[in-house]
Amino acid sequence: MDSRTFYQRVYRIVSEIPAGSVMTYGQIAFYAGKPRAARFVGRAMRLAPPGLPCHRVVGKNGALAPAEAFGGPGAQRALLEREGIAFLPGGRVNMKKHWLQG
């Protein structure tokens, strides 16, 4: 799988996240082969192709992506809640419950 770029590995991993679960930038970066390239996961999301469930990618503490990235405040949250993701009072994803661990 080394003939693909880091981004494509990221896309592959993200596309395999099941509905109702989330993964963190750092974890995805780790799986993609660059444990410290969490930033690039975010960059990959920004350049993400249509159809990629990038709303299932959150920060380590459950923080969601910038609102504008999903067309407005609450958009990502709505998508996640629709998949059964539970949120904490702080507006963050309940990682304890939905974090998809390897």
Partner DNA sequence: CGTCTGACGATGC
Partner DNA sequence: GGCATCGCCAGAC
According to the binding rule CB under 7 A, does residue 80 interact with DNA? Answer: no
According to the binding rule CB under 7 A, does residue 45 interact with DNA? Answer: yes
State the Rg of the chain over Cα. Answer: 13
Q: Which residue of 9, 25, 56, 93 would you call a contact of DNA, by CB under 7 A? A: 25
Name the one range near DNA by CB under 7 A: 55-63, 77-85, 86-94.
Answer: 55-63
Among the listed residues 62, 99, 61, the one whose alpha carbon sits nearest the alpha carbon of residue 77: 62
CB of 40 to DNA, least distance (A): 6
CA 13, 36, 91, 44 dihedral sign is negative
Would you please indicate which residues are annotated as catalytic (active-site) residues?
Answer: 54
